Amino acid sequence: MEESLNLNMNKEYIKITFPDGRKQDFKYGTTGYDIAKSISPSLLKKAIAIEIDGSEQDLCENISSDANISILTLNDNKGLSIMRHTLTAQVLAKALKNLYPNVKLAIGPVIENGFYYDFDLDKSITIQDLPMIEKEMKKIISSGNEIEKKYLSKEKVADLFRNKEETYKVDIIERSEQQSNFSTYYQKNTDFVDLCYGPHLPSLKHIGPFKLTKVAGAYWKGDSKNKMLQRIYGTAWKNQDDLKKYLNILEEAEKRDHRALGKQLDLFHFQEEAPGAVFWHPKGWTIFQNLINYMRKKQDEAGYLEINTPEILDKSLWQRSGHLDKFGDNMFTTITEDKKEYAIKPMNCPGGIQVFRKGLRSYRELPYKIAEFGKVHRYEPSGALHGLMRVRAFTQDDAHIFCTEQQIEEECIKLCNLITNIYKDFGFDQIVIKYSDRPEKRVGSDTVWDKSEEALLNTIKSLNVPYEINSGEGAFYGPKLEFVLRDAIGRDWQCGTVQIDLNLPERLDCNFINSEGNKERPVMIHRALFGSLERFIGILIEHYSGNLPLWLCPVKAVIATVTEKCNDYAKNVYDLLNNNNIKTEIDLRNEKIGYKVREHSHSKIPIIIIIGEKEKSSNAVAIRKLGSKNVETFILEDFIKITKNQIEQP
């Protein structure tokens, strides 16, 4: 390494602690290579990186103090991520340079299940170019080149990439506050070098099967004021079977894409005049309202009081709440003619607190549960917007519970049971809860933190569902739970949250009168089940591939006539069904019945009611359900009774 890391050579040995708790002395300055070699030749062969005190490092890194370590391989998720990082930074980037010498390289990070690389090139890369790029990547990998790490000073590393005319790398270096120890990675036997935090694989021999998946555009640094770059996405796995499984999921996900299904089913649209905001069509808005009505019923049963608070509030409230400092860049603000500053709310909680604060609250009123279907607005870069899944304007099913310290656990148990039962109503049986406890920097007394953390842990243990502990990753104002749902094709979606807040009641002077007649701060519990209604609808559409549960569907049935002679009877059936709150459409067109059935199946109408002379004469209906080729005949009165039961909300 060219630049010294100033190792303290006075210490001869350091103590290394392994994952199983075993301790062993190694020479000062030992490396991951040395440790892996001391364990076994087979581990040395598989080792790709080392984790030192929770930080992933290259195998070549010197260890200069006592440490807890773990040798990483491709069998670890962390190791898999390092392999993907090396693939994008050392292989995809080099392939682009080989094929397009004038390309300017930007960044190549790892993302969930894959990676991407951003670059600047005059030629537009299309999906048709990806096989050629993949071929060049495989050629590079076949060399098995070793990767060497060097540390350089800011001046030297800037000169290095300036000479290579890599303007984006130079921009990163010049804007960095770092002055020394810039890590660079050289691919041996080539002139390729990259600027990267690392770590990387020790050689290209460890790279597993991969696939480039798509191309897109992305602004440099995510800022629309900067130049639009090109981006290539890819995925990589430790073996061919894992790659094949993931590609099958991608193929299925494309079929289920809520944006395409939203258009096909006439649910919603987006347009340039309102980026990140949904134009709901009648059918889509019906689904939206069905969700609200469902949640309203559940909240009523659980003792919540529904409120509504203003969307625009004086900027001073957001300053007092702390949101302006932390989220100011993502807030929409305005100054009126009388020089007052307002902000469109990015969150509902400060408004909810104002409702609680209005009047003197007694301990006898606690827990005080208020819920709101609040419209919020948050600025998101245009490149981050993604249909219903990532928007700028959305509705949250927020609730805030104000309680005493003694009530925290009981309320959390009730709340989490409510959440898991609701998810099961929507067909999500695989739920994982992620629990995050206190970070180093936090507000509130340790006593309340102890009670809050104990309450959340006891709650999730009582639910008998899988959970993960993310130590130290709670918010500065309280521990939290995140509910992750697994959909029909195995993808995970983080939806609901339960967040104990020890901060806002203090900042916004929230009190109740306790049993001794003194003012006391309540504990505030934030709760969201759907999260964003828009996003949850997107998840539902993809989970069910557009074939939503009957009670949630905007249209339950469509009547299709065989001949015009049946039109009068069909109209009577139509009136009867709609009068019984079975939302039904009618198709009296002079088209063949097969054509009508195909068209309405494409629109995913759950029930197609076929009416011909036979049905007319017997006061019956012939029923074909979506996804089935079977046709069943029912007396009309019986069909109405059965269907009314089926469309009832859970």
649 is catalytic: no
The answer to whether residues 631 and 623 touch, using CB atoms and an 8 Å cutoff, is yes
Q: Which of 200, 400, 434, 543 is catalytic?
A: 400
N residues, the chain = 650
The β-bridge relationship of strands 523-532 and 492-501 is antiparallel
Phi-psi region of 339 (alpha: psi -120 to 50; beta: other; left: phi over 0): left
Tell me the residue ranges of DSSP E strands in 86-195.
Answer: 104-105, 110-111, 114-120, 147-152, 182-187, 193-195
What SS3 state is found at 517?
coil
Beta carbons within 8 Å of 412's beta carbon, 6+ residues apart? 455, 456, 459, 498, 525
Strand-pairing partners, residue 279, are 269
Token pair of 323 as six digits: 């949101």
Backbone angles phi, psi at 629, to 5 degrees: -100, -5
Q: Are 53 and 177 in contact (CB under 8 A)?
A: no
- Residue 378 known to be catalytic: yes
Residue 210 near residue 243 (C-beta atoms within 8 A):
yes
Write down the catalytic residue from 196, 349, 412, 416. 349
**Distance from C-alpha of 265 to C-alpha of 282, rounded to nearest angstrom:** 11
Residue with tokens 């529904």, as numbered in its chain: 306
Whole-number Cα distances in Å, 623 to 14, 174, 646: 77, 69, 14
Q: Tell me if residue 263 falls in helix, strand or coil.
A: helix
Give the type of residue at 40: S
97, 149, 480, 535: which one is catalytic?
480
Per annotation, catalytic residue among 57, 230, 396, 407: 396
CA distance 406 to 2: 59
**What's the first-to-final CA gap in the chain, in angstroms?**
65
CA distance 366 to 346: 27
- The residue written with tokens 């507000």 in the block is 443
Catalytic residue among 84, 378, 556, 616: 378
Catalytic residue among 118, 397, 398, 437: 398
CB 115 within 8 A of CB 108: yes
Report the distance separating Cα 219 and Cα 89, nearest Å: 19
398 given a catalytic annotation: yes
Name the one residue in this structure whose structure tokens are 């930007």: 106
Record the tokens describing residue 627, joined without a space. Answer: 């996804």
The letter for the amino acid at 425 is: D
| 396 given a catalytic annotation | yes
Q: Which amino acid is at 291?
A: L
Question: How far are the Cα atoms of 9, 217, 279, 387, 528 from residue 276, in angstroms, in the given order?
Answer: 57, 17, 10, 8, 21
Q: What are phi and psi of 101, to 5 degrees?
A: -55, -25
Q: How far apart are CA 231 and CA 441, in angstroms?
A: 37
400 is catalytic: yes
∠ CA 160-164-168, nearest 5°, is 90
Nearest to 20 by CA among 4, 3, 39: 39
Task: Indicate which residues carry an active-site annotation.
Answer: 349, 378, 396, 398, 400, 480, 526
